[in-house]
Amino acid sequence: MNSTPPKEDAMSENDLDEKVDRMLEAARGGLSPHELLIQASLADAANVDERAAAKEKNRARALKLLEMLEKSQD
């Protein structure tokens, strides 16, 4: 075969796995994958509530504006 020998400064697969695990752990902020998923789900649910509230507020503003336009036409 014509495989190239590994470089001396290249990380072993085990070292690379350990480095990736440390990076993932740091990115998760110490949370387990399950905890991170729950946190993301709760944040998404909060965004749904915020969007629903904004939608209702915009609807109320639109109705008020429509009422003002109708009054100005009379």
Asked if residue 25 belongs to a domain, the reply is: no
Residue 5 lies in a domain: no
Domain count, the chain: 1
Structure confidence at residue 16 (pLDDT): 92
Residue 67 counted as domain residue:
yes
* CA 50/CA 62 separation, integer angstroms: 18
Q: Looking at residue 2, what is its pLDDT?
A: 58
What is the residue whose two structure tokens read 């740091």?
Answer: 26
Cα distances from 26 to residues 1, 14, 40, 61, in angstroms, run: 40, 18, 17, 45
The per-residue pLDDT for range 14-61, each reduced to its tens digit, is 899 999 988 888 888 888 889 999 999 998 888 888 999 999 999 999
How many CB atoms lie under 10 A from the CB of residue 39?
A: 13
Domain membership of residue 37 (yes or no) is yes
Structural domain contains residue 8: no
Tell me the pTM.
Answer: 0.43
Domain span at residue 72? 32-74
6-8-12 Cα angle (round to 5):
65
